[in-house]
Every structure is written in C-alpha cells, then in structure tokens.
Amino acid sequence: MSSNPTHPRRVRPISAQLSKASPAAPGVHPGFIYLASQSPRRRQLLEQLGVAYELLLPGGDEDAEALEAVLPGEAPAPYVKRVTRMKLVAAVARLGRRGLPLAPVLCSDTTVARGRQIFGKPLDDRDAARMLGELSGVTHRVLTAVALWAPALPVPSRIRAPFFAVPGPAGRAIDTVSESRVTFERMSPAQIARYVASGEPRGKAGAYAIQGQAAMHVTGIHGSYSGIMGLPMHETAILLRRVGLLP
C-alpha cells in the first residue's frame, strides 16, 4: 500500500560485493537479503530494521499480477498467505535462474477485507471509488503476509518454527500473517472523488494508502501500522531472527 515513488539511497550492489564464482555456496553475508517487492514503502520499512538488501524483481517474461487472482470462495487470510507463498516460490526460482549468490529472499503481500470480501487493487478510478464507498464509515481488516526463504544453513537450536519447503536451491521457508483493523469516517461522494483524482488509490489494495492522503479519513487503527503500510516490522523481525539474520 505504497504511494511514494522515491527510491532509497543505493550503494554498490551487495550482490556485486559477494563472490560470483560459487553462487551455490552456502555462506550468506550477515544481514543481506533479497527483497522481491516493487514497493518503495516496503524498502523503506526494511531499511528501518537495519537490514541490507538487494531487489529481486520479476522480469518482463513474468506475470506477477496473475499470482494475485482470487480463487472462488477463497477467504482473505488463506488468500494473502497463498499469494505470498507463490511470490516467494517465483522469487527463489528467479534467484536460481539468474545465478545470483544465495541469500535469504523476502516476499510480502497485502490485502484489504470486509468480512470475507477481498478488496484488491482497483481496476480503474471508477472501481477505486466503488471500493472506497464500501469501506466508508466502517471498520475493515488489513492483512499482510510475509514469507522468508533462507538457504540451507544451521539454525540456532533454540528456534522452533514451522518451516516449509520451496522448490529450487536447498533451503527452508517460513511465513506469518499480520492482521490489523482500520476504521474510516463516513466519506462524502465529493471526498471520495477528490481522493480518487489524486491518483493515490491506483495500484493499492483497498484503493488507499494509509501513509498518504487517506489518513485524513481514518478515525481508528488497531494493530500494526507498518503492516497496514505493507510490511509489519515486528513480524518481519521475528522471521529474520528465526533464520539468524537479526539478534
């Protein structure tokens, strides 16, 4: 749910600093991960954790949007978890195809829900106005799933985590879902039209960005603000600790 197009300050790519001679080597640069997300806001949140990263984005031959299709009868929580796992599988396969040095891969996906109804990215401005009209004056849920894959490395024995397998290089993955609640004031048609005209709802789950102009219409938040933005800091930190990337 990001609207800020500003890219973070970049230094020489970390992947270029690692050895390219043996990409399958099990060693991992401390704190270095691949972020498989195009969201500038997720990059900024990850930087707040003090974790160095490189982007691992889909190529022109990948249809990333197709992964977000909702299955018939699918509930919001299973949906966002399934989509995030699919994005992780695609990212790990991408890592292998490109012959990059092995390092953990982080994926995330956010969806907005009212009951069992899923509000994805609006098709156009008219669809955005429809979504905002349905969310106006009510409380809805924002669910953000985070999935992390790490190469096959020793994991501290104190850690107990439900790891799962991902096809490709040897490794293990773990995920979690953050759920928060957001309440909007009753918005007038003119207010909705003004917000839609700003362009901010485009490409955002639920047709809004909590960190943008939509904040003026929010009367209450319960849960993770960073999760509503697109990357729950606490849950992400827990996953990084479980694979030894944070103390």
Determine whether 109 is an active site residue.
yes
What tokens does 71 get?
Answer: 């299955």
Q: Print pLDDT tens along the chain (247 aa).
A: 544 443 333 333 444 433 332 333 344 444 589 999 989 999 999 999 988 999 999 988 888 788 999 999 999 999 999 999 999 999 999 999 999 989 999 999 999 999 999 999 999 999 999 999 999 999 999 999 999 999 875 455 444 557 888 888 888 899 999 999 999 999 999 999 999 999 999 999 999 999 999 999 999 999 999 999 999 999 999 999 888 888 8
pTM reported for the whole predicted model = 0.84
Residue pair 1/208 in contact by the 8 Å Cβ criterion: yes
> What is the per-residue pLDDT for 153?
56
Cα–Cα distance, 43 to 22 (Å, whole number): 27
Is-contact 94 87, C-beta < 8 A?
Answer: no
Measure the CA dihedral 157/160/166/171, to 10°: -10
The DSSP string of the chain is: -----PPPP--S-HHHHS-SS-TT-S---TTEEEE----HHHHHHHHHTT-EEEE----TT--GGGGGPPPTT--HHHHHHHHHHHHHHHHHHHHHHTTPPP--EEEEEEEEEETTEEE-S-SSHHHHHHHHHHHTTSEEEEEEEEEEEEES----TT-----B--SSSSEEEEEEEEEEEEEE----HHHHHHHHHTTTTTT-GGG--TTTGGGGGEEEEES-HHHHHT--HHHHHHHHHHTTS--
pLDDT of residue 161: 55
Using an 8 Å Cβ cutoff, are 208 and 169 in contact?
Answer: no
- Residue 185's pLDDT is what? 98
State the pLDDT at residue 28: 45
According to the model, what pLDDT value does residue 186 have? 98
Location of structure tokens 């790490």: 150
Q: In angstroms, what is the C-alpha Rg of the chain?
A: 19
Bridging pattern class, strands 117-119 and 105-114: antiparallel
The tens digit of pLDDT for each residue in 80-127 reads 999 999 999 999 999 999 999 899 999 999 999 999 999 999 999 999
Q: How much is the pLDDT for 190?
A: 98
Cβ neighbours around 20 below 10 Å, total: 11
Share of the chain above pLDDT 70, in %: 83
Task: Round to whole Å and give the CA distance between 168 and 24.
Answer: 11
Residue among 109, 125, 127, 175 flagged as catalytic: 109
d(CA 58, CA 36): 8
Cβ atoms of 80 and 40 closer than 8 Å: no
Domains of the chain: 31-242 (3.90.950.10)
